[in-house]
Structure 1
Amino acid sequence: MRTGTGKLFRLLLGITALNPLSHGKGPVPKEIIDAIQARYSAQEKAASSRLAENPKDVSAYSARGDARLFLGDFAGSRSDYEKMIEFNPKLEISHWRLGIAYFYLKEYPKAARQFEIYHGYDQVDRENGIWRFMSQYKASGPKVAAKGLLKYEKDDRPPYPWLYEMYAGRLEPGRVFKTIDEQGFPERYKIRVLFHANLYVGIYLELTGADPGKALPFLRKAVSNEYGRSTGTYMWQVARIHHELLLKSVESGKRADPKR
């Protein structure tokens, strides 16, 4: 069942990648949303069965935590990720996924701490530094977030050095995309780089701008990105969820204020 669902999921992603018109109004068509729901509901159920047999199965908590986050059950995901650390405390320093669960539960100080301790595990990954900035910005405002920016000395994969400069206030969002264009990346690699760029430029505009709706086109591009959509990676799932949450928020605001 789990393997079959995964094959269906990848097949649907491939069909949609070949036929962008099938997207309709949203960046993810209904058949893919249904496949995601089916796949991760099955993964959650399978992991729960494993945990019924062995309540200390850390890998089962990991699988169920991922499934629950992808299904939008942030509290359930947090619980499973915390169980992983309870049974294997050595996992805490590297558990950035727990930080993401905290962030979407609006437990921003906990999220900031989780991304901070991850920095002790990986001092190259500026994506982690961006999440720390986002968490501190939400918890304490822009000044504290700017002051608390993690320091990096080693190189990182594109486009994160440029994105980090943007979050530090030293680079405009438009310049991030111009810099990517100037690199002469092979087309397939550029698509991958643009997935990350659109995701974090979108989040940056939502975080720092007066009009969160301006972030939606960038997040939509991230969710529609061929690399992200065809791989269905953890961060593509995050992009999909973030876009969905922001879209609901913007539409709710428009209904509350018809003049907008």
Structure 2
Amino acid sequence: MSINITFNPTIKTISIFSPKTSSNLQQLPFPITLTSKPPTNYSQLSLSSISLTRRTFLPSVSGIWDALTGGANNNPREAALAIRRGMQLFRQGDVMGSVVEFDRAIELDPRQKAYLWQRGLSLYYLDRFEEGAEQFRLDVAQNPNDTEESIWCFLCEARLYGVDEARKRYLEVGRDPRPVMRQVYDMFKDGGDPQKLVDTFSNSRDGEYFYASLYAGLYHEALGEEDAAKKYIVASCQSPYAQRSDDYMASLAKVHCICRNWSLNPTST
């Protein structure tokens, strides 16, 4: 789908480990750099040519163009603010409050629903698994390369139908550029050894160790193995990456422990 507008932005990515880390820009809630330099070929400006992972910004791709051109009958700016409020509430452990804000964002701009992976995560922790699975399926339909949303859809459906049936429904996505997430994806899809996953990335940069530990714990939770799930997710929270990162998934690991009443004190039993 080509997009024709009167001027042509150049959009550049920010170098980060996690695609869930958001921008700190004040005016636009996504990492974007505008220049007056036009492309050499106007027909090349299309959504498929934009090298951004959606989760580096809050609104949908359509929200970028709304912010630049003024939008139509929706209110993308207010919707983006509601999403920010929802994310902040989630980080603080107010999962129900976060869903209220995410739902408000959808009321303000219905197009946002297909991109609100944050809402799907909150729904999981409210045990609203059917709605969560629907949210993640909508998300993957918009971005067929979204590894983590495929996994979270599986996590919701494993709670609804069991692991075997969830694997039959597993969403196939494109190849994730992150080695740790490629192995996580295969483990959920085909089965595997979570400890081997963690060992593989134990000497890697701590972001990879964090993700390996988090998803090892989530894998055990899907299998109903609470003690093992606790071991790995608490370890992910105690990793240097989780301690210092603003990554939304680092906050999620801590919220997970809050929702399960797990202590982050390593000496606690």
For 1:151 and 1:168, the matched residues in 2 are separated by: 9
Aligned residues: 190
Task: List aligned pairs for 1:171-190, cutoff 5 A.
Answer: 171-180=192-201, 190=205
Preserved CA contact (<8 Å) 1:133 1:146: yes
2:132 aligns to what? 111
- Establish whether residue 191 from structure 1 lines up as the match of residue 212 from structure 2: no
Mapped partners of 1:215, 1:143: distance in 2 = 19
Deviation, 1:248, is 4.3
Structure 1 match to 2:237: 223
Contiguous gaps of at least 5 residues in structure 2: 1-74, 264-268
Give the secondary-structure state (helix, strand or coil) at the position aligned to 1:86: helix
Distance in 2 between residues matched to 1:154 and 1:229, nearest whole Å:
29
Offset, 1:128: 1.0
- With the length of structure 2 as denominator, give the TM-score of the two structures: 0.64
2:120 and 2:132 in contact (8 A); partners too: yes
* Cα distance change, pair 202–60 in 1 and its aligned pair in 2 (3 A): same
Q: CA deviation at 1:60?
A: 2.6
| 3-state SS in 2 of match to 1:168 | helix
Deviation at 1:169, TM superposition (A): 3.2
For 1:153 and 1:80, how far apart are their aligned partners in 2? 31
8 Å contact kept, 2:125–2:259: no
Distance 2:227 2:191 in 1: 23
> Which residue is 2:5 aligned to?
none
Letter in 1 for 2:249: M
* SS of match in other structure, 1:82: helix
Which position in structure 2 is the counterpart of 1:8? none
What is the root-mean-square deviation of aligned Cα atoms in Å? 2.5
The yes-or-no answer on 1:81 pairing with 2:102 is yes
Give the structure 2 partner of residue 98 of structure 1: 119
One-letter code aligned to 1:123: P
Give 1:174 shift: 2.5
Separation (CA, whole Å) in 2 of partners of 1:155 and 1:242: 24
**Equivalences for 1:1-260 in 2 at 5 Å?**
57-180=78-201, 190-210=205-225, 212-248=226-262
Residue 102 of structure 1: CA displacement?
Answer: 1.0
Percentage identity across paired residues of the two chains: 25
Q: TM-score, normalised by structure 1?
A: 0.67
1:206-250 residue CA offsets vs partner (Å, 9 max, x unmatched): 22144x11222211221111122211321111000112333449x
Q: Shift of the alpha carbon at 1:122?
A: 1.8
Q: Following the alignment from structure 1 to structure 2, what is the Cα–Cα distance between the partners of residues 215 and 73?
A: 22
Any conservation in 1 of the 2:167–2:189 contact (CA below 8 Å)? yes
